[in-house]
Amino acid sequence: MSTQRHYSLADRLTQQADALLRTLIPSSCQPARPSPALAHSEDTSLDAADKKHIAGLMRVNHTGEVCAQALYQGQALTARREEIREAMEQAAAEEIDHLVWCEERLKQLDSHTSVLNPIFYGLSFAIGAGAGAISDKISLGFVAATEDQVCKHLDDHLGQIPMTDGKSRAILQQMRIDEEEHSTNAIAAGGYRFPTPVKAGMSLLAKLMTASTYRI
C-alpha cells in the first residue's frame, strides 16, 4: 500500500504561504549545509567602499535566491506530474542554503536585504506558475535557462569581488556549482532548450532586477 500523501489544493496553497513568509522574513530559514564562508577569515583590508560594493552584489544575489524560491514554488504548484512537483520542491529546499548564506554575509558586511524582495517574489511566482501551467517540459526548460543566466551572473560577480574576500567568494563559488547542477538536472529530466531570443529576454529582466536591488 502506498504511503505517499496526496495534498489538496488548500494544503498546497497553505504550503505556498508558509514558503513565502519563510523566504521574506529575515532569519526564518535554516540551511541544510553550513556556509562555505565559515572556512575563511574576514578580510580586514576591505575599506568602506569595497564593503559597500560587495554588499550590493550580495544583495543582488540574495534577491536572486528569493526569485528562485518563488519560481520553484510557483512551478511546483502547477506541475502536471507528481515527480516534477517533487523535483521543484527539492530544488527550492536546496536553494534555501544560498538564501541564508547571502543573508548572513550581508549582516557581516553591516548591510541589508532588498526592500523590493516582496515584489520580485510575486513576479517570479507568477512566472513559475505560468510556466508550470503550460507544460512540465517548458517548466523544466525555464529552470535550465534561468540557472544558466544565474551562472553567468555569478561569474561576473566573482570577477568583481576582491580575491582577498574569501568569505563572499566561497559562497558564490558553491552557489555556482549548485546552480549548474540544477540546470543539468532540468535538461536531463526532459526540459525544453529555450532559443537564444527567449534567453536574451530573460537576461534583460535579470538586468532590471540587478540594477534595482544593488542599492535598494
196 in a structural domain: yes
130 in a structural domain: yes
Cell of 97: 542554503
* Helix pair angle (82-108, 136-160), 10° resolution: 20
10 in a structural domain: no
Cell of 109: 558586511
User: 101 is in which domain, residue-wise?
Assistant: 57-211
What does the alpha-carbon distance between residue 188 and residue 140 come to, in Å, rounded to a whole number? Answer: 9
Q: In Å, how far are 19, 79, 145 from 211, measured between CA atoms?
A: 26, 31, 20
94 in a structural domain: yes
Which of helix, strand or coil describes residue 214? coil
Q: What is the pLDDT along the chain (216 residues), one digit of tens a residue?
A: 444 456 666 666 676 677 776 787 777 788 989 999 999 999 889 999 999 999 999 999 999 999 888 888 888 888 888 888 887 878 788 889 999 999 999 999 999 999 999 999 998 888 888 888 888 888 888 888 888 888 988 999 999 999 999 999 999 999 999 999 988 988 888 888 877 766 777 777 778 888 899 988
22 in a structural domain: no
**What pLDDT score does 3 carry?**
47
The three-state (H, E, C) secondary structure of 94-130, written as one string: HHHHHHHHHHHHHHHCCCCCCCCHHHHHHHHHHHHHH
Q: Please, what is the Cα angle at 214 between 195 and 16, to 5 degrees?
A: 65
14 in a structural domain: no
Radius of gyration of the chain (CA): 17
Q: In Å, how far are 29, 40, 105, 169, 207 from 166, measured between CA atoms?
A: 24, 6, 11, 5, 26
Which amino acid, one-letter code, is at 136? D
Give first-to-last CA distance, the chain, whole Å: 52
What does the alpha-carbon distance between residue 98 and residue 34 come to, in Å, rounded to a whole number? Answer: 10
169 in a structural domain: yes
Q: Which residues are annotated as a binding site for Fe cation?
A: 65, 95, 98, 147, 179, 182
Sign of CA dihedral 196, 153, 188, 143: negative
**Is the distance from CB of 87 to CB of 71 less than 8 angstroms?**
no
What does the alpha-carbon distance between residue 77 and residue 88 come to, in Å, rounded to a whole number? Answer: 9
**What pLDDT score does 39 carry?**
95
21 in a structural domain: no
Tell me, what CATH number does 148's domain have? 1.20.1260.10
Q: Which residues are annotated as a binding site?
A: 65, 95, 98, 147, 179, 182
Number of domains making up the chain: 1
